[in-house]
C-alpha cells in the first residue's frame, strides 16, 4: 500500500508546523490513517524518514495509543464506554447488545450485509470524560449521550444503512477517515456545527449565577480553614 505524493507532502507540512519536528508525529499518524485506513508499515517508514527518527520509535507511539489502529476499522467506529459510571448506568449491557447485534467481539468490524452502505466496527473504550451523560458512546470520536441498548441498535442500523446521523453535542457524523484527517490538522469547516455543551455540563455555572457566586480575583487569598467566609 503506497502513500501518494500528496500525502507525503502533507506529512512534511505537519512536521514543519513544530519547532521540534518529531512533535508532529501524533497528527502525522492520524493523516496516515486517513489515507490508508490504518497505521501501515509504509506509513511508519514515511513518518520516520520525514522526522529523522527510527521506525521503531514511530511504532512505539503507534502501538501505545489506542486511537491508532493496526488493522482497518469500519466506516463508522463505535466506542462504548464501560468504565465504572457508564457500566453502572448500562454501558455493559449496551456493549453486550451491540456485540450480539453486529456479530462481533471487541475491536472487530461487522461484515457488510447486502444493502449496507457502510461498515461498522465496535470497541470497548475507556472513560470518555462525559460522565454527566452516562452511559455514553462515541462514533468516530463524537459523543452520543444518554444511550440505551435499544437506541444503540437503532444507531448502528442507521449508520449501516447510510442514514444521516448527528452527534448529541457536535456535528453530523462523517466517516472515520474524514475525522482522522481533521485530527491531523486539516479542518473540515464543521467545528461550530451543533451544540458543544448541554444542560448537565452547565449545571454548575447556572447554580453559580443563581447564587451570585464568582471566581476569586487574581491574587486573592483563599479563606482560612474553618472560616465562616
pLDDT along the chain (229 residues), means of 10: 93 97 98 97 98 98 95 96 93 97 96 95 92 94 96 98 94 95 94 81 90 83 52
Whether 194 is in a domain gets the answer: no
| The domain boundary residue, chosen from 62, 93, 108 | 62
Instruction: Give residue 118's domain range.
Output: 76-174
Q: Is residue 98 part of a domain?
A: yes
Question: Tell me, what CATH number does 37's domain have?
Answer: 1.10.10
The three-state DSSP-derived secondary structure of the chain is CCCCHHHHHHHHHHHCCCCCHHHHHHHHHHHHHHHHCCCCHHHHHHHHHHHCCCHHHHHHHHCCCCCCCCCCCCCEEEEEECCHHHHHHCHHHHHHHHHHHHCCCCCEECCCCCCCCCCEEEEEECCCCCHHHCCCEEECCEEECCCCHHHHHHHHHHHHHCCCCECCCCCECCCHHHHHHHHCCCCCCCCCCCCCCCHHHHHHHHHHHHHCCCCCCCCCCCCCCCCCC
Residue 201, pLDDT score = 84
pTM: 0.85
Whole-number pLDDT of residue 229: 47
> 85 and 167 share a domain?
yes
> Total domain count for the chain?
2
The verdict on 88 and 23 lying in the same domain is no
Question: Which of 17, 34, 62 is the endpoint of a domain?
Answer: 62
Residue 135 sits in the same domain as residue 105: yes
pLDDT for position 77: 98
Amino acid at each position: 500500500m503506497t502513500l501518494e505524493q500528496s500525502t507525503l507532502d502533507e506529512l512534511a507540512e505537519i512536521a514543519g508546523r513544530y519547532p521540534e519536528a518529531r512533535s508532529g508525529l501524533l497528527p502525522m499518524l492520524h493523516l496516515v490513517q486517513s489515507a490508508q485506513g490504518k497505521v501501515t508499515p509504509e506509513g511508519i517508514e514515511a513518518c520516520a524518514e520525514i522526522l529523522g527518527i527510527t521506525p521503531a520509535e514511530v511504532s512505539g507511539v503507534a502501538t501505545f495509543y489506542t486511537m491508532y489502529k493496526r488493522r482497518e476499522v469500519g466506516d463508522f467506529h463505535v466506542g462504548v464506554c464501560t468504565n465504572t459510571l457508564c457500566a453502572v448506568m448500562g454501558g455493559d449491557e449496551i456493549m453486550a447488545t451491540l456485540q450480539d447485534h453486529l456479530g462481533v467481539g471487541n475491536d472487530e468490524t461487522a461484515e457488510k450485509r447486502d444493502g449496507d452502505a457502510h461498515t461498522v466496527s465496535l470497541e470497548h473504550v475507556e472513560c470518555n470524560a462525559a460522565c454527566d451523560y452516562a452511559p455514553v458512546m462515541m462514533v468516530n470520536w463524537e459523543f452520543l449521550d444518554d444511550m440505551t441498548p435499544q437506541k444503540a441498535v437503532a444507531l448502528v442500523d442507521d449508520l449501516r444503512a447510510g442514514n444521516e446521523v448527528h452527534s448529541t453535542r457536535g456535528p453530523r457524523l462523517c466517516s472515520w477517515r474524514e475525522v482522522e484527517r481533521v485530527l491531523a490538522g486539516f479542518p473540515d469547516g464543521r467545528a461550530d456545527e451543533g451544540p458543544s455543551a448541554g444542560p448537565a455540563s452547565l449545571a454548575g455555572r447556572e447554580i453559580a449565577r443563581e447564587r451570585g457566586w464568582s471566581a476569586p480575583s487574581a491574587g486573592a487569598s483563599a479563606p482560612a480553614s474553618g472560616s465562616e467566609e
